[in-house]
């Protein structure tokens, strides 16, 4: 490899650096040290690629370097927007951990780990999102602009309310309403079901069946937590079955009339919650796979 080639490739890296410096995700609000760290990783990767090859054609160097810069830009965008990516006038949010996101209209969404949500760039004119996974919504009310959550073969439409969506299996979609009113619509049958507070709907996407049931009025949602007000042990186990997809056997527990009043955080683990319950009710539990036995 001659001296001219080395100089040319050095100039190429300098050119890429100029393009990188000219790129701005959010002028005036960027983390400059983060940008510099990303650039150092890109340039080091390019130089490492050189050391591994005795002869590197210019076209190959351009392709490798361009790919690295694009990956770095995408990674930087992901970091800047808290696990969000803008693709073709559409935002995509992927929850790496249970966290809360705020949509442009002020609606808050508590997304469970692994959930995915997308919405269009013109969201304020067309308030709808597409959800995969589990999330709880606190929808901001806007006159004349309903809010729609698109699900598999169905959607939920509201004005301003609080509800949760669980899609733990491809066949079942569960929507629980805490306050306000929502319409659940099956896009295949055009069946519309209106939910009232403390009601839950389970939609089976295989046979389009819909089951509506009542939930405990003593359990409500409040800014990222489930608020319990004098909740019995039976009500708690029913709630935990829904929340954590496990089953309980409490037949060996004598009903003492005790109740639980307090808060269970959205991201609290099942173990933490069970420890609280056992302390309040003076019981213990034994885990047998997905079955939890409660014992006096």
Enclosing H/E stretch for 189: none
Q: Which segments of the chain belong to CATH 2.60.120.1440? A: 86-214
Pairing assessment for the beta strands 210-214 and 154-158 based on DSSP bridges: unpaired
Nearest to 294 by CA among 255, 267, 243: 255
**DSSP category for residue 103:** -
Nearest to 219 by CA among 176, 157, 167, 174: 176
Q: Which segments of the chain belong to CATH 3.55.50.30? A: 219-295
* pLDDT above 90 for 193: yes
Of 143 and 183, more confident: 183
Do residues 174 and 134 make contact, with C-beta atoms less than 8 angstroms apart?
Answer: no
Q: Long-range contacts for 289-294 (Cβ within 8 Å, ≥24 apart)?
A: 290/245, 290/246, 290/247, 291/246, 291/247, 291/248, 291/249, 292/246, 292/247, 292/248, 292/249, 293/248, 293/249, 293/250, 293/252, 294/233, 294/237, 294/248, 294/249, 294/250, 294/252, 294/253
Do residues 100 and 110 make contact, with C-beta atoms less than 8 angstroms apart?
Answer: yes
pTM for this prediction: 0.67
Quick: pLDDT tens for 70-113.
444 444 444 334 455 555 588 999 988 877 999 999 999 999 98
Enclosing H/E stretch for 2: none
Quick: pLDDT tens for 209-259.
999 999 988 999 988 899 999 999 999 999 999 999 899 999 888 777 889
Domain covering 219-295: architecture: 3-Layer(bab) Sandwich (3.55)
Domain covering 86-214: architecture: Sandwich (2.60)
Distance CA 181, CA 199 (A): 10
Q: Which DSSP string do the residues of 29-86 spell out, in sequence order?
A: S--HHHHHHHHHHHHHHHHHHHHH-SS--HHHHHHHHHHHHHHHHHHHHHHHTTSEEE
Quick: pLDDT tens for 136-171.
999 998 887 899 999 999 999 998 889 999 998 889
Nearest to 175 by CA among 139, 125, 211: 211
Quick: pLDDT tens for 43-76.
665 555 444 433 333 333 444 444 444 444 444 4
DSSP, collapsed to helix, strand or coil, labels residue 243 as helix
């Amino acid at each position: 490899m001659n001296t001219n080639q080395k100089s040319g490739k050095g100039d190429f890296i300098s050119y890429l650096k100029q393009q990188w410096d000219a790129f701005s995700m959010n002028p005036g609000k960027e983390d400059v040290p983060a940008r510099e760290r990303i650039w150092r990783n890109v340039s080091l990767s390019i130089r490492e690629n050189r050391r591994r090859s005795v002869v590197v054609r210019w076209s190959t160097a351009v392709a490798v370097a361009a790919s690295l810069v694009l990956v770095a830009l995408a990674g930087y965008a992901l970091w800047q927007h808290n696990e969000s990516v803008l693709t073709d006038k559409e935002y995509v949010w992927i929850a790496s951990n249970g966290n809360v996101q705020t949509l442009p209209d002020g609606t808050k969404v508590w997304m469970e780990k692994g959930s995915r949500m997308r919405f269009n760039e013109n969201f304020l004119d067309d308030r709808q999102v597409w959800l995969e996974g589990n999330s709880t919504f606190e929808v901001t009310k806007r006159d004349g602009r309903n809010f729609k959550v698109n699900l598999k073969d169905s959607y939920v439409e509201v004005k301003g309310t609080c509800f949760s969506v669980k899609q733990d299996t491809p066949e079942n979609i569960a929507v629980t309403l805490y306050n306000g009113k929502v319409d659940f619509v099956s896009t295949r049958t055009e069946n519309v079901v209106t939910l009232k507070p403390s009601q839950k709907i389970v939609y089976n996407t295989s046979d389009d069946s819909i089951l509506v049931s009542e939930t405990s009025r003593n359990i409500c949602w409040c800014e990222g937590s489930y608020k319990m007000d004098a909740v019995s042990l039976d009500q708690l186990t029913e709630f935990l079955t829904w929340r954590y997809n496990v089953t309980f056997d409490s037949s060996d527990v004598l009903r003492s009339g005790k109740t639980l009043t307090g808060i269970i955080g959205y991201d609290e683990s099942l173990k933490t919650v069970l420890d609280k319950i056992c302390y309040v009710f003076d019981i213990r539990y034994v885990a047998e796979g997905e079955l939890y036995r409660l014992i006096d």
